[in-house]
Amino acid sequence: MSIRMGDIAAMQQVQLCEFRGGHEDVEPKVEQLMNKLKRMQQGKRAIEEEVKEAQSLRDSLQEELDAQSCMVLQFQCEEMEQDSTRQQQLNRKSEDLIEQYRCQIQETKLKHRKHRMKFENQLQQLIEQHKNLHSVFSPDRLPAEIESVENAKSQLLKAEQLKLSQLCHLEEALDEARRQTSTDTADKHTD
């Protein structure tokens, strides 16, 4: 049974009235005083018990709050680790793609260089053949031979332009991949 502060005040009020009410006996009896003392001690024990219960409740609530805070922090930590792992995977994929484009560009440059060398060799051979043919053929046929050589030269130049265009497209694709990677990374950081 718990005694509230209001109950103690009421008991004290009753005791005061009892003390004042007995005009005949100014001195309270020892037994009455002992009973009052017992009631007051019981009230004190009841209050102490309530204080202990309140402290126990406070401690258990604090433990529950600490446990929930720990769970929330653990969840946030796991989320951050997952985000970091996803970002690293995305970065790895982007780096692989950039490396793939870089290799393709390098390969195209090598092919272009080979074609250019081949073109220069063919041109040199044509020039030599033209010189030899000039001495063999008459000057009347010279314009037709020149036109043939120029046509061959034009075709080789067109082939070279095509290879340069392909190289340009690969470089644009690489730039686009880099821009996409930086945009994805910037978007991820703003989220």
Q: Read off the pLDDT of residues 76-119 as tens digits, 9 standing for 90 and up.
A: 999 999 999 999 999 999 999 999 999 999 999 999 999 999 98
pLDDT for 185 equals: 76
Global pTM value: 0.34
Give the relative orientation of helices 142-190 and 30-136 as an angle to the nearest 10 degrees.
180
pLDDT for 23 equals: 45
pLDDT for 10 equals: 56
pLDDT for 86 equals: 93
Q: How far is residue 27's CA from residue 7's CA, in Å, rounded to a whole number?
A: 25
Q: What is the DSSP letter of 76?
A: H
Residues of the chain below pLDDT 50:
1-2, 21-24, 26
pLDDT for 9 equals: 57
pLDDT for 31 equals: 86
pLDDT for 32 equals: 87
> How far is CA 188 from its chain centroid?
6
pLDDT for 137 equals: 62
pLDDT for 51 equals: 93
Residues 98, 181 contacting (CB under 8 angstroms): yes
